[in-house]
Amino acid sequence: MNDLIIDAFAEIKEIKGIDKTQMMKIIEDAIRTAIKKKYGQSENFNVIINLDKGTVEILRNRLIVADENIQDQNMEIKLSEALKIDDSFEIDEMLSEPIPLHTLSARSIQAAKQTLFSRIIDKEKEEVYRKYVDRVGEIVYGEVYQVWKNDILIQDVEGTELNLPKSELIRGDFFRKGDSIKAVIKAVDFNNNNPKIILSRTDNKFLYALLETEVEEIQDGTIAIKKIVREPGEKAKIAVESYNDRIDPVGACVGVKGVRINGIVNELNRENIDVIPFTTNTALLIQRALAPAMINSLEIDEENKRVKVWLEPEQISLAIGKNGVNIKLASKLVGFKIDVYRDINNEDLDDEDIDLMEFQDEIEDWVLREIINVGCDTAKSVLSLTVEELAKRSDLEEETIREVMHIIKKEFEK
**pLDDT by residue (tens digit) across 276-323?**
999 999 999 999 999 889 999 999 999 999 999 998 888 888 888 888
Domain 136-202: which topology? OB fold (Dihydrolipoamide Acetyltransferase, E2P) (2.40.50)
Listed in order, strand segments (DSSP E) in 192-330 are 194-200, 223-231, 235-242, 272-277, 295-301, 306-311
The average pLDDT across 131-153 equals 93
The mean pLDDT value for 196-221 works out to 95
Q: Which of 10-19, 39-48, 90-99, 369-378 bottoms out in mean pLDDT, i.e. has the lowest?
A: 10-19
Least confident of 42-46, 186-190, 265-269, 362-366: 362-366
Class of domain 216-278: alpha beta
What pLDDT is attached to residue 45? 94
Q: What residues contact residue 40 under an 8 Å CB cut-off, 6+ apart?
A: 74
Residues 22-30: what's their mean pLDDT? Answer: 76
What are the pLDDT digits (tens) for 335-358?
999 988 877 654 455 556 788 888
The least confident of 71-85, 118-132, 149-163, 304-318 is 118-132
More reliable by pLDDT, 341 or 238: 238
Cβ burial, residue 310 (10 Å; 0-12/13-18/19+): middle
Kindly report the average pLDDT of the chain as a whole number.
86
Q: What angle do CA 8, 11, 16 make, to 5 degrees?
A: 130
SS3 413: helix
Cα angle for residues 210, 215, 216 (degrees, 5° grid): 125
Contact 376, 350 (CB under 8 A): no
Q: Which residues, listed in sequence order, are joined to residue 355 by a DSSP beta bridge?
A: 378
Mean pLDDT of 144-164: 92
Torsion of CA 47, 48, 54, 55, to 10 degrees: -70
**Angle, helices 106-132/2-13, rounded to nearest 10 degrees:** 10
pLDDT of residue 8 exceeding 70: no
The percent of residues in the chain predicted with pLDDT above 70, rounded, is: 90
The share of the chain scoring above pLDDT 90, in percent, equals: 52
- Given a contact cutoff of 8 angstroms between Cβ atoms, the answer to whether 393 and 370 are in contact is no
* Phi, psi angle pair for 181, to nearest 5°: -145, 150
Least confident of 5-14, 73-82, 189-198, 376-385: 5-14
Q: What is the pLDDT of residue 289?
A: 95
User: Looking at this protein, which amino acid is placed at residue 128?
Assistant: V
Alpha carbon distance 13, 20 (integer Å): 9
- AA identity, residue 162: L
Among 101-110, 149-158, 177-186, 226-235, which stretch is predicted with the lowest mean pLDDT?
101-110
Q: If you write DSSP's letter for every residue of 113-144 in order, what string do you get?
A: HHHHHHHHHHHHHHHHHHHHTT-TT-EEEEEE
Backbone angles phi, psi at 360, to 5 degrees: -60, -25
Q: What is the pLDDT of residue 381?
A: 83
CATH topology (fold) of 2-130 = N Utilization Substance Protein A; Chain:P; domain 4 (3.30.1480)
Mean pLDDT of 151-155: 95
What are the domain boundaries of the chain? 2-130, 136-202, 216-278, 346-413
